[in-house]
Amino acid sequence: MITVYSKPKCMQCEMTKMWLKQNKIEFENVDIEVNPGALELLKHYGYSSLPVVVIDDELSDESKTWSGFQIEKLEALL
């Protein structure tokens, strides 16, 4: 399962979600403005920019999470 932590009006967030949808990859979107606990969780793991993409809820595993719109990491999901 892929989770995308994002917020409204974030261009990189929208690009990441659009890429996932276009490639028919299911994901859960967590809006940090609606869920302040999610923002605190991301801060705990050292993230300061969005989106944060997490595979299998493995926030502590750097090989399964990243921030920003990173096409090469998205393509590796295919």
The better pLDDT of the pair 19, 62 is held by: 19
Q: Return the CATH number at 24.
A: 3.40.30.10
Q: What is the total count of domains within the chain? A: 1
Instruction: Tell me how far apart the alpha carbons of residues 8 and 30 are, in angstroms, rounded to a whole number.
Output: 11
Average pLDDT over residues 4-12: 97
Q: What is the pLDDT of residue 14?
A: 98
Query: Residue 50 in contact with residue 6, Cβ under 8 Å?
Result: yes
Range of 11's domain? 2-75
**What's the chain's average pLDDT?**
96
28-54: per-residue pLDDT in tens? Answer: 999 999 999 999 999 999 999 999 999
Q: What is the pLDDT of residue 23?
A: 98
